């Protein structure tokens, strides 16, 4: 019996010593610094954004379909009824939530790259505006951060101006994802939706349009500044019809966030991309960025590269209900000249050389 008690005492002493040694080792280990914590918060904020845009709509749709075959089918039925009732809301100004635009996570999102907004001229709240956003890049990070979130100070720089960002109309047909988009102030890139904001929502509205669209994303790669703009004139016609001023903006660094496999014009892969883009409205780009665990690994997260969005001088546009082709061409040319001036005056300030040129196709 004494032998058993002695053995138990030795085991307890050993266990106590082991625990104490483990605690000493844990306390001696270096704790994450504030810088490390900020870096992880920034990375997680970008991760949630990428996953939201790539998966939220599809996953929500599949989940609601799955519920149809379970005892929870009334949830799917009620949401379907809600979408039918709420079908036209995206094209009537949406349903923006200021609290989501001020969500603290967007500050970490901004600081990951970081993203900066630069103002060159005032925008009067007594007018409406169409802001041309260039370039498209892969995921329009600069346009989203500046015109959807309040993290870069758009509201403070342009008091009285309400920014809206347009995106593919098909995104507003996806359950849950449509609510997420509208809450941030996004609207479909359709004549009806843009016309509503420019004519039936008062003044002080700034509708940002990524004019190059999916076609421009196919040419996105670091060191290349090519815009699809020469034959994109619909935004100018709408500006004339509603008397909205045209404002160029350029996001320096947007094309540096990902690496893309660019297929040459005339190749079979390029033709597949272009056909897909015409049918679905977006182009299936083959791209990669950094991984979640390391900058040196490959994944779907953007690289941390600075983005500076410069908002240029407004081009004053008269209101003409039925503008002629010559009138549209004239203001389209004025817009291009204003954009080129903006690019050339700022390119050396934000990472480009004096010899870099803006190619417009």
Give the residue extent of every domain in the chain.
35-360
pLDDT digits (tens, 9 = 90+) for 202-217: 899 999 999 998 778 7
Q: Are 244 and 200 in contact (CB under 8 A)?
A: no
Sheet with 245-252: list strands edge to edge: 115-119, 307-311, 245-252, 129-134, 205-210, 162-167, 186-188
What pLDDT is attached to residue 26?
47
**N-terminal to C-terminal alpha carbon distance within the chain:** 93
User: What is the predicted pLDDT for the residue at 294?
Assistant: 83
The predicted structure's pLDDT at residue 276: 65
- Rounded Cα gap, residues 122 and 312, in angstroms: 9
Cα angle at 305 between 301 and 309, to 5 degrees?
Answer: 110
Tens of pLDDT, residue by residue over 234-258, are 999 999 999 999 999 999 999 899 8
Q: For 9, phi and psi rounded to 5 degrees?
A: -65, -40
pLDDT per residue rounded down to tens, the chain (361 residues) = 444 444 444 444 555 667 666 656 645 666 677 788 898 999 999 999 999 988 999 999 999 999 999 999 999 999 999 999 999 999 999 998 888 888 999 999 999 999 999 999 999 999 999 999 999 988 899 999 999 998 999 999 999 999 999 998 989 999 999 999 999 999 999 999 999 999 988 899 999 999 998 778 777 666 668 899 999 999 999 999 999 999 999 999 998 998 877 666 666 666 766 676 666 655 666 778 899 888 888 888 999 999 999 999 999 999 999 999 999 999 999 999 999 999 999 999 998 888 888 889 8
Residue pointed to by tokens 């940002």: 208
Q: Which two tokens stand for residue 223?
A: 């060191």
Instruction: List Cβ neighbours of 234 (8 Å cut-off, separation of 6 or more).
Output: 191
Site of tokens 């809600």: 82
The radius of gyration computed from the CA coordinates of the chain, to the nearest angstrom, equals: 26
Query: Distance between alpha carbon 62 and the CA centroid of its chain, in Å?
Result: 24
Q: How far apart are CA 28 and CA 305, in angstroms?
A: 35
Q: What is the pTM of this model?
A: 0.86
The mean predicted confidence, pLDDT, of the chain is: 87
**Chain Cα centroid distance, residue 197:** 20
Could you give the CA distance from residue 329 to residue 231 in angstroms, rounded to a whole number?
10
């Amino acid at each position: 019996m004494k032998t058993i008690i002695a053995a138990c005492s030795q085991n307890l002493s050993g266990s106590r010593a082991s625990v104490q040694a483990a605690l000493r080792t844990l306390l001696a280990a270096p704790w994450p610094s504030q810088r490390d914590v900020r870096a992880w918060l920034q990375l997680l904020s970008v991760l949630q954004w990428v996953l939201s845009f790539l998966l939220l709509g599809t996953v929500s749709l599949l989940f609601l379909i799955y519920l149809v075959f379970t005892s929870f089918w009334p949830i799917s039925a009620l949401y379907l009824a809600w979408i039918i009732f709420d079908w036209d809301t995206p094209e009537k100004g949406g349903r923006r939530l200021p609290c989501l635009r001020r969500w603290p996570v967007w500050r970490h999102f901004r600081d990951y790259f970081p993203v900066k907004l630069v103002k060159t001229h005032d925008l009067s709240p007594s007018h409406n505006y169409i802001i041309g956003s260039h370039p498209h890049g892969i995921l329009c990070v600069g346009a989203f951060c500046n015109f959807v979130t309040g993290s870069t100070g758009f509201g403070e720089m342009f008091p009285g101006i309400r920014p809206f960002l347009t995106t593919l109309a098909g995104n507003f047909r996806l359950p849950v994802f449509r609510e997420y988009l509208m809450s941030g102030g996004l609207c479909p890139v359709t004549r009806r939706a843009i016309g509503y904001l420019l004519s039936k929502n008062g003044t002080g509205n700034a509708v940002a349009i990524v004019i190059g669209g999916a076609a421009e994303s196919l040419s996105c790669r670091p060191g290349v500044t090519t815009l699809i703009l020469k034959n994109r004139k619909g935004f100018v016609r709408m500006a004339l019809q509603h008397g909205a001023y045209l404002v160029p903006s350029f996001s320096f660094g947007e094309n540096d966030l990902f690496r893309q496999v660019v297929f040459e014009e005339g190749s079979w892969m390029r033709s597949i991309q272009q056909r897909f883009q015409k049918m679905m409205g977006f182009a299936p780009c083959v791209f990669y960025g950094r991984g979640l665990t390391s900058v040196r690994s490959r994944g779907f997260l953007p690289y941390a590269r600075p983005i500076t969005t410069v908002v240029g001088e407004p081009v004053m546009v008269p209101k003409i209900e039925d503008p002629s082709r010559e009138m549209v061409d004239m203001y389209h040319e004025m817009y291009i000249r204003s954009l080129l001036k903006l690019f050339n005056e700022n390119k050396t300030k934000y990472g480009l050389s004096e010899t870099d040129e803006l190619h417009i196709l």
